Amino acid sequence: MVNQKLQQYPKAEPRLFYGYTLVLSALVIMVLLWGAYSVYGVFFNPLVDEFDWTRAATSGAFSLATILSGVLGVVVGGITDRFGPRIVMTVSCLLFGLGHLLMSQVSTLWQLYLFYGVIIGIGMSGSWVPLLSIVARWFSRRRSLMTGIVIAGLSVGRMIAPPVISGLIAVYEWRLSYIILGGTVLFLTVIASQFLKRDPAQMGLLPYGANEGKPGGLDLDVRGFSLREAGRTWQFWSAFAMFFCFGFGSFSIWVHIVPHAIELGIPDISAASIISISSGLGILGNFVLGGIIGDKVGNRKIIIVGFTLISGMLFWLVFARELWMLYIFAVVAGLGIGGMAASEPPLVARLFGLRSHGVILGFIGLGFTCGAAVGPYVTGYIFDLTSNYQTAFLICAVTGVIGLILAIILRPTRELDVRL
């Protein structure tokens, strides 16, 4: 049965609530990690051109990193639940930065898979669950908004990094660009990780808004499921499959939209700007859709809207040939992706509570990363077979429709029965 025991914290938050420092630190880490992770598509053509690897083989290293980060996300979620995020994030950021530094020395395919697929993949395992699980623990009220702010770092990183890295490659070539990228990310993320704390109880505080309208200052959200209990519900596996579909389409876009635009004859810098525009609208999606509106109407409705926008734009992408058409795709799809990304952690909290939020979020996040691993590889493989992306993008669109159906039928767990 669901654990109904309520946890009581010693005192309410002070005027300068430490949770905001935590949100700022998590935001900085999110900007740097996801910004660096999003530029694999910018390095994609230089790697293919220099080593004459196939697109499927080159995509495979990114897929390996993604699936490994997802599998280990379950582990780091459990470690964060028990020991807190500081050690987890410090180790993750060290490995992530080291992997990018080593990428400057890659010369064979096995090195690509080791440096990027394994080392960077392990580093990325801390880029989602620890940061967002602790935000859920620190904020009872404004949870979706604070989650949206942190996840906005993903969009900010994706908006800034591609044109910056594209410019670096043009000036310094890809090897030195990897050194600059890896060194910067390693230094800044390790520093920011030192400000993270597991929950407000460590500082004698209540979560923000925990005692508003709740007698005795009790936070009713601490009740919830263990991972085993959650795994026995149909909602758990429906959410897993739903986020698989989300990862399949969104990461296929991230990895292949720049090569696709270049195939259409669009200049490299303009092609990279598509990711930047999508990421910029993703920030709006994080704040407005996933944050402000998500707190008011529920996160499931935001996910329904997100799947509708992304699927429609993937069908549009099948026929898009001009830069302006790709910009329209970037605007609409970016808005949908941003709203959906910000909705995942609070949706998990509303479905299963906070008792084991980190490990449950990690497991459902594994669904996302499985899709994110499979999608880019399948997309690259289909391109190798057909010499175009139309069929692959159509498959991504159909996958999005499946995710939409799963979101529509999702219902609250009977034990918690809270609005999704």
Q: What pLDDT sits at residue 219?
A: 45
Mean pLDDT of the chain: 86
Q: What pLDDT sits at residue 216?
A: 38
pLDDT of 206 strictly over 80: no
pLDDT digits (tens, 9 = 90+) for 175-194: 999 999 999 999 999 999 99
Query: How large is the average pLDDT for residues 18-42?
Result: 92
First to last CA, the chain: 21
Stretch among 104-113, 212-221, 330-339, 347-356 having the lowest mean pLDDT: 212-221
pLDDT of 379 strictly over 70: yes
Q: What is the C-alpha to C-alpha distance for residues 135 and 110, in angstroms, rounded to an integer?
A: 38
Q: What is the C-alpha to C-alpha distance for residues 57 and 61, in angstroms, rounded to an integer?
A: 7
Stretch among 5-14, 318-327, 367-376, 397-406 having the lowest mean pLDDT: 5-14
Q: Kindly report each contact of residues 313-322 with a partner whose C-beta sits within 8 Å and lies 24 or more positions away, as own/partner.
A: 314/249, 314/253, 314/393, 314/394, 314/396, 314/397, 314/400, 315/394, 315/397, 317/393, 317/397, 318/390, 318/393, 318/394, 318/397, 321/264
Query: How large is the average pLDDT for residues 80-86?
Result: 85
Q: What is the C-alpha to C-alpha distance for residues 247 and 398, in angstroms, rounded to an integer?
A: 13
Query: How large is the average pLDDT for residues 283-290?
Result: 84
Length of the chain: 420
pLDDT digits (tens, 9 = 90+) for 233-280: 999 999 999 999 999 999 898 788 888 898 889 988 788 788 878 888
Q: What is the C-alpha to C-alpha distance for residues 221 and 223, in angstroms, rounded to an integer?
A: 5
**Domains of the chain listed by start with CATH number:** 18-203+222-408 (1.20.1250.20)
Q: Which residues contact 37 (CB under 8 A, 6 or more apart)?
A: 120, 124, 127, 157
- Give how far the C-alpha of residue 262 lies from the chain's centroid of Cα atoms, to the nearest Å: 25
Query: How large is the average pLDDT for residues 98-122?
Result: 96
Q: What is the C-alpha to C-alpha distance for residues 314 and 252, in angstroms, rounded to an integer?
A: 11
Q: What pLDDT sits at residue 277?
A: 87
Q: What is the C-alpha to C-alpha distance for residues 372 and 62, in angstroms, rounded to an integer?
A: 9
Q: Which of 134, 149, 144, 162 is nearest to 41 (CA)?
A: 162
pLDDT digits (tens, 9 = 90+) for 134-176: 888 888 777 778 888 898 888 788 778 888 998 899 999 999 9
Whole-number percent of the chain with pLDDT over 70: 92
DSSP state of 353: B
Facing residues of 3 across strands?
Answer: 224
Whole-number percent of the chain with pLDDT over 90: 42
Q: What pLDDT sits at residue 217?
A: 38
Q: What is the pTM of this model?
A: 0.75
Q: Name the band, by pLDDT with cuts 50, 70 and 90, for residue 102.
A: very high
